Structure 1
């Protein structure tokens, strides 16, 4: 193995320090989440049972390993940006979703025991709303 000083390595390669993540807008976060889900279109993701019937305090703590929220939490950029875990409440806060929107993405009553990554991606993208998607299309 050959050893080089930092100065020698900088002369050989374009070494850049890691820059902090730029803050993402709500739409950018949701688009990134949808993209992560779409990258694994056939991955079976767990759903959360009865989000609409659970008391608010308990709903915020809900968690299922391997859910669409887990896919978001697996992303290092989201963790650096402040996504603390893969619970329902943390996803609601981080992505700026209403209970109804998150219910449509992860609840068992609409989806059964699991959802494919591609289907979850469509549901996340729908939560963005039509107007922001139209603006992004023409930007």
Structure 2
């Protein structure tokens, strides 16, 4: 979330801070979607950028679910 907040384009579009609640509001994600993207319980303390990108794509893609997530992981 902090990486997104550091992007001047997101801030210009209205991202107000790097909190969970603000990310949920700004990106229009459900708690489940945002948890899947940012929670360390899935990967530990460090998450490679490509994994984070795959999680974002899977969370916001039509048909987001386990099959969409698997497709994103193996295709990117």
1:90 lines up with 2:22 in the alignment: yes
Aligned partner of 1:81 in structure 2 is 13
Secondary structure in 2 matching 1:115:
coil
Aligned residues: 63
The structure whose Rg is larger is: 1
Larger helix proportion of the pair = 2
Task: Specify every segment of 5 or more residues in structure 2 that has no aligned partner in the other structure, as ranges.
Answer: 64-76
Distance 1:121 1:78 in 2: 16
Aligned partner of 1:118 in structure 2 is 50
Deviations 1:79-117 (A, max 9, x none): 011101111111000000000000001112112112111
TM-score by length of 1: 0.43
Aligned partner of 1:128 in structure 2 is 60
Distance 1:98 1:80 in 2: 23
Q: CA deviation at 1:124?
A: 0.5
Regions of 4+ moved over 6 Å: none
1:72 lines up with 2:8 in the alignment: no
Larger strand proportion of the pair = 1
Q: Once superposed, what is the RMSD of the aligned Cα atoms?
A: 1.1
